[in-house]
Chains A and B, each alone.
Chain A
Amino acid sequence: MESTTSVSKGVFLFSNGFKKTKHSKKKPKRNPFESLSKDSWYKTFKYNWNVVENQLKELHEQTYSILLNDIVSYVKLVNQEHEYSTLEGIIPSATLLTGVNQPDYVNQFLALIDRIREDVTPHVALINSQDAQTVKHLVESAVWQLIHGQDVLDNSANDSFEKDSSERFKLKKNQCTLKTLLNWYQAKYVKQSPKKYKPVAKKTLVIIMPDFESFNCNILQDFVMIISSYVQSLPLVLIFGVATSVSALHKSFPYHVSSKLLIKVFHSHPSHVYMNQVLENIFLSHTSPFHLSGKAFELMTDVFLFYDFSVTGLIQSIKYCMIDHYYGDNIKSLCCVPEQLDEAINNLTKDDLENIRQLLSFRPFLEVQDCETKIGLFEDDNFFREILSKEINKLHDYVHSFYLCIRLLSTFVKDLPKNTLGKTVRELYAKCSLECVTSTQPFKECMQLLNFQSQIKLGETIKAALKDVNTCLQVTSPIKPLRSTPSKNNIHNITLKNDLGQDFAKTIKIHLMTFLRQIENASNDASVFTNTDMDTENDLDNVNIPGNRYKLKEKLLRATRVEKIQSEYEMIRARFVCYLEEVFTKSLQPPHTQTFHEILFFSDVANVKKQIVGSPRGALHTALSNPIHYLQCTCCHLSSVDSISDTLPDVSIAYKLHRECGKHINLYDWLQAFAAVLRPDEDDEDRYKDVNIQVRFTRAVSELQFLGFIKSSKRKTDHVMRLTW
C-alpha cells in the first residue's frame, strides 16, 4: 500500500479521488459483501446510489455533448478538407483545454472516443503519458491501437475481408512502425475502396493524448515531426488534452515543430461550474432522499475549492458519506423515496422502532403531544409506525419546499449588488442549512435591496423564479398520484404544518404569477389609483390561502402606512418583498429543527472527515506520541501526551526524545536519554553500555530515519539532522 510511505517527508502521488474510491470499494459494494445484500439498509443504499449514478451519467452526457459535437464535427471536417490543403505536412490537431484536475476528464475523453468511433472513424488511439517513455513506445502503441482499434467493434460484423485482414495484421508490438501503418492503411482503403467499398471514404486516424503536460516534450516533438512526414498519405488528426492553457503547447513545441501543427482550441467547462451543476442538479434536489447537512456539505465543497478541484473526488466523498450514513443501521432504510416508505416502515423490527424513539429530534416532537398520544407512541408500535410514516412524509414535503425556496432565493438574490448571501445555490444551501437564514442580517439586507429594484428587473426575476417553480413541479408531478398520505393529514391533530410540499409549490406559483401580472401592469407614476389597488388586493385575496390573516393584515398595514409617497409599482413591490420574506421564513427553517431529520440528513462530519481528508503526518504523530490510540493495549497508558514510560515501543520513546532536541541531535546524548528511560534505576555509566539497549536504540533510530524524521549528517560527526519542525 502507498500509505506505508506516508511519512513526514513524503510526496504523495495519489491521484485525486483515488483514495476515496478505495474506501468505497472496501465498503459494501463488492462481492465479499454479498452477505450484506440481505439487509434492508443496504438495499436502500444501493437503490439510491444507483439513482444518483444514473443521474450523474445523464448529466455527464448533457455537459459533454456540446463540446464533443464540436470536436467530432471538426474531426469530420478535417477529413473532408484534407484534399484541399496545399500546405505540406501540416497535421490538423484539436486542443481541448481541460481543467487542472485531469482525472476528472478521463470520462470525457472516453466519451469522446466513443463518439468518434461511432460517427467518424474506427481508428482511434488513446495514448497516456505513461505509455510514452520513448519515441519508440509512443509510435508503437499509437500504431498498434490504430490498427487493432476497430477489431473490437468489428469482430462479428464484417465479412471475410475483415477477418482476413485482421489475421494478416496480427502484429507484434515491435513491428508497429509508421511504415507498417502506411502499408496497412493503403491495403485497407486505397487499394480496396474502389472495388468493394465505394461509398466508404478514407477514414481518418485519430490519436488522442489526454495529458499533454505529462509528456516529455522532446518525445512529442519527434513524434509530431514523424507524423508530419506521413500526413500526406495518412489522414491523421491529433487531439491534445491540455490542463493549463494553449501556451503550454507553444512552450513545449519549438517553432519548427509547431509550424507542422494546425491547432484549433476547444474549451471545456471550468471545473467549478461543473461542480455547481453536479451539486445543484443531483445532490441539492428533493429527488434524492439522502441529504447532507450543512456542515458535511461545507466540508465537501471546501475540499473541492481549497484542495483539488476534483469533481470525481467530490462525488466519491459524497458516496462515502452516504455509505457511512446507511451502514449497518436498519432505520436508515427509511431514507428512501416516498413511494417505498410504507414498505420500509412495515419491515422495521421492534428494536429498530426503539432506536427511532431514541433519536434526539423525536424529543421536541414528543413534548408537544398530549399524554395519550405520548403513551400511544411508546406502547403501540402500529400507532408509532403510522405517525412515523406521516412525519417522514412531512419531512419529505419540507425538503421539497426547502429546496424550492433555496432556488427561489438564489434567483432573487443572484443579481443584487455586493451580495452577502452568496450567489450560487450551493452557497445558499450551506447557509440555510446551518442556521435560520431569515433571521440573519445579510438576508434582511438582501430583502431591503430587493425593495429598490426596478420594475423591469423585478419582472424578469419573477419570471425566472416561475420557471424554477415550474421545473420543480414537473419533476415531482409523476410521483404525486402515488403519494396518498399528505391528504390524510387532517385526520390527526398532531400535524404541525401541512401546507408544505407540492401544494406549497403550487400556491407559490399562483402567487408569483399574480405578482408578476401586477408588476407588469403597475404604473410607475406617483399618483395612486385606489380602485385598481383595491382590485388587485381582492385578486390576491381570492388566491390566498384563507388562514393567512396575519399576512394580510401586515400587508394592509404597510399599504396604508406608505400609500401617499409611493407609486403603485412601489407599493406592489413592497408587498411582494413582504410576501417573499414570509414565505422564506416559513420554509427555510434549518433541517436540524425538523423531527426525524437524522434519518434523511447526514451530519456525522467528524467521523467522515478523517477518511475524506487524510492527514498522514498527523496520523503518524499520534501513533508515535500516543501508541495506545492505535495499539489499544493496557500497558502504554500515559498521563499526558508528552510523558514517557518504558513500556512504550522503542520507536515511540526515541521519537518523543528527539522532539526535545534542536536541529542537530547528538546520538550519544540521545542514547543516554533513551537508556535512562528504559533503565531508570541503574547507574548512568552502565546502562547505555548494555548491548541490548544499544541494539534497541539503533533499531529505533533507523526506523525513525526510515520514516523520514531524521537523516544522517555529514557536517557533524555523531550527529543526525532533524527533518521535521
Chain B
Amino acid sequence: MEEMYNKLPCREDQLNNLLDLLGESDEPLPASLFVSGGMATGKSLCLTTVLQYLNYKHVFIDCIECYSTKILYESILAGLSDDYMDVKCDSLWELVNNLNTLSNQQNNYEAIVLVLDRAERLRNIDQNIISTLLRLREFCNLNICSIFVTHLIYDNFYFKIGVREPIKLYFPNYNKEELFKIIFLSQKSFVRYLTTNNDFGCDIKEELERPELFANFLNAFLSVFYRPCRDLIELQHMARVNFVKYCEPIIKNEIKPNDLSKLWRHIAPILKTSLELLYLRINTTKTPTQAQSLGKENSEEAQPQRYNFDNILKEELLSTKTFAQSFELPYYAKYLLIAAYLASYNPPKEDKRLFMKNHGKQRKKLQHVRAKAKISEKLNTQLGPKVFTLDRLLAIFYAILEERIGLTSNLLAQIATLVELRLIAGSKEIDLDTSKYKCIIGYDFISAVAQTVGFNVRKYLYDFM
C-alpha cells in the first residue's frame, strides 16, 4: 500500500477513490467507471497498479486496436480465459454467451475488471457497444466492472438517454510542484543515461549523482517549460535531452557544479532554443540514440555524419522558405505548382485581366478594383484556397510559362505527382468533367519556389494588384 503511494506520487486522492470503489473484494463492483483526464496524468498507471495490488482478474484493452468489434470481443475473452489461443467471437450475444459459460465455471463471485483504454474510439464502432459495456453485469452472471479510460470529458460521449451513468473519476493535470516531484523520482535513470554514454572520472560522477544538481536543473528547466507544456512524458523527454547539455560544462570541468548562476547562464539559451522546437513538436519525436550525438546541439541527428544535414534539417523545420528551396521539383512541375497557387487564390473572373496581354478597359477597371480591394484585400490570400478545374490550371500554366510546350502526357502526369505529394489536393481518380483541385501550400512556400525559377508571384496575385 505504502509502496503504491510512493510509486505514484501526487495521485493519492485518485488512488483512494479507486480503492474505495473497487477495494472491497466481498462487495459487488460498480457496474462501470468513467476515468478521464488529460494526457499523461497517470490514469492507466494508477488503474493497473491498483488492480495488480488488489489482485483482480482484469483485461486491458486498447480500443484503438479494435478496428473491428471482433477483435474487441476476442481480446476480452482471451484475457479472461486461460486457453486464449482459439476463441472465436463475432457478435455481442456470443460475447455474453461466452461470459455466461465462464461464470458457470467459476464457483465464487470473483471480481473481473475490463479496462478500456482510449474509450473515445468506441464511439465510432457501434452505438450499442458502449451501452452494453456500461451494463455488462446485468447481462451476465459475473461480478464484472468495465472501466472507460479516456482523455475526453464525459459530455463528449453522447451516451444514449437512459443508460446507467457510470461513476466518474477525474484525473487533474499535475501542477508545477507535482511535476517536479515526479520527474525527480527518476533522477537515477537520468544520471545513468548520462553516464552510460560517457566515461569520465569518479569524482565527476559523484558530483553528477548529487540530487541537488538535478534539482537545480529541474527548477531551471520547469521555469522555462512549465508554461507551454504540461505533458509529463514530453517534459521528461525534454528534461533528459537538456540535462545532458546542462552537465556538459561540468564534465568538461569548465563550470563548477555548485556555481548555479553560471550554470543557469549556460543553460538558459539552450532551453530557449529547445522551447522553439517544442512548439514544432519535433524534438519530442527525436531522442539521441547514440553517444556521439551528445555533443550535438540538435539531438535529432543521432550520428554526426559526413553530410552536414543537421542544420539544414533544423532550418528546414523552422522556416518554410528554406524548406521550399530544399525541395527539388522538375522545372515544369514548379510552374504547375505556381499556376495551381494562382488558380486557387485568384478569383476566376480576374483571370483575363491578370494573364492576358490585351484585356482592354484597363483604366476603368483598375479603379474599380482598387476601390474593391480595400474590402477584399484580406480575403483571397487569407480565406484559403478555392477550388479550380484542370482546364483553368492548364490555361494559367500556359499563360505564365513563356515558352510554348506541347501538352504532353508527362506534363499531365506531373499534376498527379503533385497531388500525390500533397502539394495540391484533389481527387486521384480520373474524372473527365469535374476534376477539381485545390492548392494546399502557403504563400511563403510558393514565393520561395517561384524564386528558384525567377518568377514573381506577387505580380499575378489579385490581392496585390
Whether A307 contacts B422 in the complex (CB less than 8 A), given A613-B410, A614-B408, comes out as: no
**Which among A266-274, A328-336, A434-442, A463-471 touches the partner chain?**
A266-274
Per the 8 Å Cβ criterion, residues 401-455 of B in contact with A are 406-417, 420-423, 428, 430-433, 435
Whether B189 sits at the interface, judged by CB under 8 Å, is yes
Interface size in chain B (residues, C-beta < 8 A)? 74
In the bound complex, do residue A272 and residue B430 qualify as a contact, i.e. CB atoms below 8 Å apart? Answer: no
**Which among A78-86, A282-290, A652-660 touches the partner chain?**
A78-86
**Which among B91-99, B142-150, B173-181, B285-293 touches the partner chain?**
B285-293
In the bound complex, do residue A16 and residue B282 qualify as a contact, i.e. CB atoms below 8 Å apart? Answer: no
In the bound complex, do residue A245 and residue B433 qualify as a contact, i.e. CB atoms below 8 Å apart? Answer: no
In the bound complex, do residue A308 and residue B390 qualify as a contact, i.e. CB atoms below 8 Å apart? Answer: no
In the bound complex, do residue A616 and residue B409 qualify as a contact, i.e. CB atoms below 8 Å apart? Answer: yes
In the bound complex, do residue A258 and residue B328 qualify as a contact, i.e. CB atoms below 8 Å apart? Answer: no
In the bound complex, do residue A255 and residue B281 qualify as a contact, i.e. CB atoms below 8 Å apart? Answer: yes
Whether B167 sits at the interface, judged by CB under 8 Å, is no
Whether A177 sits at the interface, judged by CB under 8 Å, is yes
In the bound complex, do residue B407 and residue A618 qualify as a contact, i.e. CB atoms below 8 Å apart? Answer: yes
**Which among B51-59, B61-69, B266-274 touches the partner chain?**
B61-69
In the bound complex, do residue A226 and residue B64 qualify as a contact, i.e. CB atoms below 8 Å apart? Answer: yes
In the bound complex, do residue A7 and residue B432 qualify as a contact, i.e. CB atoms below 8 Å apart? Answer: yes
**Which among A134-142, A381-389, A410-418 touches the partner chain?**
A134-142
Q: Closest Cβ of chain A: how far from B195's Cβ, in Å?
A: 12
Instruction: List A contacts of B332 (CB < 8 A).
Output: 306-307
In the bound complex, do residue A13 and residue B39 qualify as a contact, i.e. CB atoms below 8 Å apart? Answer: no
Whether A250 contacts B421 in the complex (CB less than 8 A), given A13-B416, A262-B287, comes out as: no
| Complex: A5 Cα to B433 Cα, angstroms | 12
A11: contacting residue among B233, B331, B390, CB under 8 A: B390
Whether A9 sits at the interface, judged by CB under 8 Å, is yes
In the bound complex, do residue A708 and residue B433 qualify as a contact, i.e. CB atoms below 8 Å apart? Answer: yes
Per the 8 Å Cβ criterion, residues 227-241 of A in contact with B are 229
Whether A245 contacts B330 in the complex (CB less than 8 A), given A10-B412, A10-B432, A613-B410, comes out as: no
Q: Closest Cβ of chain A: how far from B393's Cβ, in Å?
A: 10
Instruction: List A contacts of B330 (CB < 8 A).
Output: 100, 304-309
In the bound complex, do residue A272 and residue B286 qualify as a contact, i.e. CB atoms below 8 Å apart? Answer: no
Per the 8 Å Cβ criterion, residues 52-111 of B in contact with A are 62, 64-65, 67-68, 71, 74-75, 78, 85
In the bound complex, do residue B281 and residue A258 qualify as a contact, i.e. CB atoms below 8 Å apart? Answer: yes
Contact with B along A598-638 (1 / 0, CB 8 A): 00000000000000011111100000000000000000000
Whether B284 sits at the interface, judged by CB under 8 Å, is yes
Instruction: List B contacts of A179 (CB < 8 A).
Output: 71, 74-75, 78
Contact with A along B139-177 (1 / 0, CB 8 A): 000000000000000000000000000000000000000
In the bound complex, do residue A303 and residue B284 qualify as a contact, i.e. CB atoms below 8 Å apart? Answer: no
| Complex: A716 Cα to B196 Cα, angstroms | 79
In the bound complex, do residue A14 and residue B327 qualify as a contact, i.e. CB atoms below 8 Å apart? Answer: no
Q: Closest Cβ of chain B: how far from A243's Cβ, in Å?
A: 6
Instruction: List B contacts of A473 (CB < 8 A).
Output: none
Whether A262 contacts B68 in the complex (CB less than 8 A), given A614-B409, A725-B391, comes out as: no
What is the chain A residue whose CB lies nearest that of B415? Answer: A11
In the bound complex, do residue A259 and residue B289 qualify as a contact, i.e. CB atoms below 8 Å apart? Answer: no
Instruction: List A contacts of B407 (CB < 8 A).
Output: 615, 617-618
A139: contacting residue among B62, B67, B417, CB under 8 A: B67
Whether B380 sits at the interface, judged by CB under 8 Å, is no
Whether A256 sits at the interface, judged by CB under 8 Å, is yes
Contact with B along A247-271 (1 / 0, CB 8 A): 1111100011011011111010011
**Which among B5-13, B200-208, B302-310 touches the partner chain?**
B302-310
What is the chain B residue whose CB lies nearest that of A6? Answer: B409
Instruction: List A contacts of B307 (CB < 8 A).
Output: 267
Whether A53 sits at the interface, judged by CB under 8 Å, is no
Whether B237 sits at the interface, judged by CB under 8 Å, is yes
Count chain B CB atoms within 10 A of each CB in A225, A244, A306, A615 and give the residue with the most.
A306
In the bound complex, do residue B410 and residue A614 qualify as a contact, i.e. CB atoms below 8 Å apart? Answer: yes
What is the chain B residue whose CB lies nearest that of A136? Answer: B67
Count chain B CB atoms within 10 A of each CB in A92, A100, A226, A723 and give the residue with the most.
A100
What is the chain B residue whose CB lies nearest that of A222? Answer: B64
Whether A183 sits at the interface, judged by CB under 8 Å, is yes
In the bound complex, do residue A12 and residue B323 qualify as a contact, i.e. CB atoms below 8 Å apart? Answer: no
Instruction: List A contacts of B411 (CB < 8 A).
Output: 307
Q: Closest Cβ of chain B: how far from A73's Cβ, in Å?
A: 9
Instruction: List A contacts of B233 (CB < 8 A).
Output: 87-88, 259
In the bound complex, do residue B430 and residue A10 qualify as a contact, i.e. CB atoms below 8 Å apart? Answer: yes
What is the chain B residue whose CB lies nearest that of A257? Answer: B285
How many CB-defined contacts (below 8 Å) exist between A and B? 203
In the bound complex, do residue A100 and residue B329 qualify as a contact, i.e. CB atoms below 8 Å apart? Answer: yes
Whether B280 sits at the interface, judged by CB under 8 Å, is yes
| Complex: A182 Cα to B375 Cα, angstroms | 61
| Complex: A693 Cα to B189 Cα, angstroms | 89
Q: Closest Cβ of chain B: how far from A14's Cβ, in Å?
A: 5
Whether A77 sits at the interface, judged by CB under 8 Å, is yes
Instruction: List A contacts of B282 (CB < 8 A).
Output: 246, 250
Q: Closest Cβ of chain A: how far from B336's Cβ, in Å?
A: 10
In the bound complex, do residue A213 and residue B313 qualify as a contact, i.e. CB atoms below 8 Å apart? Answer: no
B67: contacting residue among A15, A222, A243, A261, CB under 8 A: A222
Q: Closest Cβ of chain B: how far from A245's Cβ, in Å?
A: 6
Whether A711 sits at the interface, judged by CB under 8 Å, is yes
Instruction: List B contacts of A6 (CB < 8 A).
Output: 409
Count chain A CB atoms within 10 A of each CB in B231, B301, B313, B412 and give the residue with the most.
B412
Whether B395 sits at the interface, judged by CB under 8 Å, is yes
Whether A213 contacts B281 in the complex (CB less than 8 A), given A87-B233, A244-B327, comes out as: no
Whether A99 sits at the interface, judged by CB under 8 Å, is yes
Q: Closest Cβ of chain B: how far from A369's Cβ, in Å?
A: 45
Instruction: List B contacts of A213 (CB < 8 A).
Output: 420-422
Whether A345 sits at the interface, judged by CB under 8 Å, is no
Instruction: List A contacts of B226 (CB < 8 A).
Output: none
Per the 8 Å Cβ criterion, residues 349-363 of A in contact with B are none
In the bound complex, do residue A11 and residue B430 qualify as a contact, i.e. CB atoms below 8 Å apart? Answer: yes
Q: Closest Cβ of chain B: how far from A721's Cβ, in Å?
A: 10
Contact with B along A693-724 (1 / 0, CB 8 A): 00000000000000010010000000000011
What is the chain B residue whose CB lies nearest that of A267? Answer: B309
Instruction: List A contacts of B131 (CB < 8 A).
Output: none
| Complex: A276 Cα to B231 Cα, angstroms | 48
Q: Closest Cβ of chain B: how far from A418's Cβ, in Å?
A: 16
B317: contacting residue among A16, A19, A250, A618, CB under 8 A: A250
In the bound complex, do residue B326 and residue A245 qualify as a contact, i.e. CB atoms below 8 Å apart? Answer: yes
| Complex: A183 Cα to B83 Cα, angstroms | 12
Whether B14 sits at the interface, judged by CB under 8 Å, is no
Instruction: List B contacts of A340 (CB < 8 A).
Output: none
Whether B248 sits at the interface, judged by CB under 8 Å, is no
Whether A539 sits at the interface, judged by CB under 8 Å, is no
In the bound complex, do residue A100 and residue B289 qualify as a contact, i.e. CB atoms below 8 Å apart? Answer: no
B284: contacting residue among A258, A267, A304, A617, CB under 8 A: A258
In the bound complex, do residue B78 and residue A214 qualify as a contact, i.e. CB atoms below 8 Å apart? Answer: no
A214: contacting residue among B289, B302, B420, B435, CB under 8 A: B420
What is the chain B residue whose CB lies nearest that of A723? Answer: B391
Q: Closest Cβ of chain B: how far from A485's Cβ, in Å?
A: 44
In the bound complex, do residue B289 and residue A78 qualify as a contact, i.e. CB atoms below 8 Å apart? Answer: yes
In the bound complex, do residue A16 and residue B65 qualify as a contact, i.e. CB atoms below 8 Å apart? Answer: no
| Complex: A81 Cα to B288 Cα, angstroms | 11
In the bound complex, do residue A245 and residue B65 qualify as a contact, i.e. CB atoms below 8 Å apart? Answer: no
In the bound complex, do residue A12 and residue B413 qualify as a contact, i.e. CB atoms below 8 Å apart? Answer: yes
Contact with A along B25-44 (1 / 0, CB 8 A): 00000000000000100000
In the bound complex, do residue B285 and residue A84 qualify as a contact, i.e. CB atoms below 8 Å apart? Answer: no
Q: List 14 A-B contacts (CB under 8 A).
A: A7-B432, A9-B390, A12-B416, A86-B193, A87-B233, A100-B421, A135-B67, A222-B67, A243-B421, A256-B39, A272-B328, A615-B407, A615-B409, A618-B408
Supply 16 further A-B pairs (C-beta < 8 A) apart from A9-B391, A87-B233, A102-B420.
A9-B435, A13-B416, A15-B413, A74-B289, A77-B290, A214-B420, A222-B67, A250-B280, A262-B289, A267-B309, A307-B333, A307-B411, A307-B414, A308-B330, A615-B406, A616-B408
The 7 closest A-B pairs by CB, nearest first: A307-B410, A614-B409, A12-B412, A615-B408, A306-B331, A135-B67, A708-B432
